[in-house]
Structure 1
């Protein structure tokens, strides 16, 4: 008997739609398959945190922590399994309506964290308020800088400190958008990001790199001769020379897969870069066409854009690059997102452990490489 007589026509419709859905997903939305990666991140230990989005983590000069910058405007400190997370600091005095799940602009949104070793002060890049500082005892942070060369700092993101020169460098990821619109900044093609040098003695804020497209992570190299800053939209890692014969010039240091976030220097002088997600065909289409990115900004809800950019499959990934050449040395993954999702930072310690933060997920993870 012919197959058409065995199966009613209407019964074939769901099957056709299912096949179409699978093919469409693989063609448009599925995250890239990267060669040579190590799917080891599912083995990391999960440390739950009662608030979403420990975007950046840091350890104090005594080695205590980690400290985590979370979505409700606070900095929390990990006191071990017995005591858990305790409040250390906050960037805004307005604490009445802060949410543990969503950004409330009046509460601030702390992002990059950097301790100054000689003073014990914690510097905080807040995606709404600017660069803040709080003393070793914590509490309410005070403003350090919120403008440079006559332009407001709208999106302070990550920073690094040169204690010998008594200066620090930080990213202002956009002069138009705050933190919550970060994916629109990456998609719409605007190059409004800049890197700013702040002299703590003279209190002068000077732009050293501009025309950047959603520059996210920033770190100084081991001898403080240059800094690198990565663009989330393009995956390009820009280098700015601070010392030597090339001082004051810039070049492209590396290109990494996916949409990069924070950068951390390793104990051996290389760099770990947290990757929010790998790229997908539709993500490349949006980011690669300015007109389409602007259309998406006007018509697509942020939550949907985030889902599209990570292929409807949140996962974890971190890339290690050489501190000398920018060459990719290692890529760690959680391909299926079983343990890690939305990785924003990978912070390697001298004991061989790598700590991971997440821009959205309520967890910090630690992977013991030894």
Structure 2
């Protein structure tokens, strides 16, 4: 115990030094990284009074993108002339919700984190972090709640999903049984390991727990052949592979150790995986996420904004995504190291030669032309 007190005191001094001189423990360089995302185009959400378009998808007709925003709506991008229009909501009580963010009203207004269209039906499935797994029809409107508990326990922090349209199964994450998004900083620094990985069977309407004891489980993505599904564990800097078929069916293993904390995961047509990262593996993100006693100590010492700065390795904020092969090999690292256009990237969706970039905090969607890499 005395040793821990000494370590906390020493690290507290280092933290104070880092705040005054943030480059002391800056974000590390990743070998092979390309600082290109600052060339992205942005689609402005603030014109629709919104921010934090975390997840993205396109409907079966190729229209969109669509994104869920922090005030509980799902918006659709029409074009440069018409901008964003409202497509769906997750609650009927919208009084006071139409502002960029209303943290105290999130339980009432809802907050969609993951969205995905079922291509064969046109239905839009929504992971609302307060209201569970939901679905809206092809015409949008009010979404219907279809799953809010599993194994007798409330789904408390619904996060991200992928859909197996052949088996009519939705795989999704419940990030914690104790914490919700407005207290996520406490969750990631307190050592919470109560997250769950779930599946919802459309035919039976049953929700089953596949994995428990996870550290902030987040992004979900099926492999191209549907033999496995990936689950991000950002605060352990890794991605798990849960086998769905073959001799290892029903078991999990580490798919990849990542150079940062992965948020959402999306597979491209080749079977590769784009992974958005909230932060690189910095000095303070590693210690804060790995040692709960340290994380709890700094929670008491610093404000939310100071903690964000420390975890990111100092200002300016940045945006970063990585691409992994179907075997977990690191293929690509793309950054906006100065935060010129995209920061706090939460999802990277490859479509029509472009990388569409969602963010958990900014009032715009980024669009990067991948042909610029050639």
What is residue 86 of structure 2 aligned with on the other side?
87
- For 2:166 and 2:74, locate their aligned partners in 1 and report how far apart those are by CA, in whole Å: 26
What is residue 218 of structure 1 aligned with on the other side?
220
Deviation at 1:298, TM superposition (A): 5.1
- Specify which of 4, 13, 32 is matched with residue 28 of structure 2: 32
What is residue 185 of structure 1 aligned with on the other side?
187
Matches within 5 A, 1:2-41: 24-28=21-25, 30-41=26-37
1:155 aligns with 2:151: no
- For 1:35 and 1:153, locate their aligned partners in 2 and report how far apart those are by CA, in whole Å: 39
Say which is worse superposed, 272-281 or 162-171, in terms of deviation: 272-281
Change (3 A) 1:296 1:130: farther
What is residue 127 of structure 2 aligned with on the other side?
125
Change (3 A) 1:308 1:165: same
- Listed as ranges, the gaps of 5+ residues in structure 2 are 1-16
Deviation per residue, 1:268-324 (Å, 9 max, x gap)? 00000011122321222211211122334455443332232222321010000011x
How many residue pairs get aligned? The number is 348
1:52 aligns with 2:51: yes
1:316 aligns with 2:319: yes
Secondary structure in structure 2 of the residue aligned to 1:291: helix
- For 1:21 and 1:38, locate their aligned partners in 2 and report how far apart those are by CA, in whole Å: 26
What is residue 7 of structure 2 aligned with on the other side?
none
Change (3 A) 1:286 1:269: same
Secondary structure in structure 2 of the residue aligned to 1:259: strand
Deviation per residue, 1:3-39 (Å, 9 max, x gap)? xxxxxxxxxxxxxxxxx779942333x1112121011
What is residue 101 of structure 1 aligned with on the other side?
101
- For 2:115 and 2:277, locate their aligned partners in 1 and report how far apart those are by CA, in whole Å: 18
The alignment yields a C-alpha RMSD, in angstroms, of 1.6
- Listed as ranges, the gaps of 5+ residues in structure 1 are 1-19
What is residue 328 of structure 1 aligned with on the other side?
330
Deviation at 1:218, TM superposition (A): 0.5
Larger Rg: 1
Secondary structure in structure 2 of the residue aligned to 1:260: strand
What is residue 77 of structure 1 aligned with on the other side?
76
Secondary structure in structure 2 of the residue aligned to 1:215: coil
Q: TM-score normalised to the size of structure 2?
A: 0.90
Change (3 A) 1:230 1:43: same
8 Å CA contact retained: 1:174, 1:192: yes
Change (3 A) 1:39 1:244: same
Deviation at 1:342, TM superposition (A): 0.5
Change (3 A) 1:251 1:21: closer
- Specify which of 333, 339, 347 is matched with residue 345 of structure 1: 347
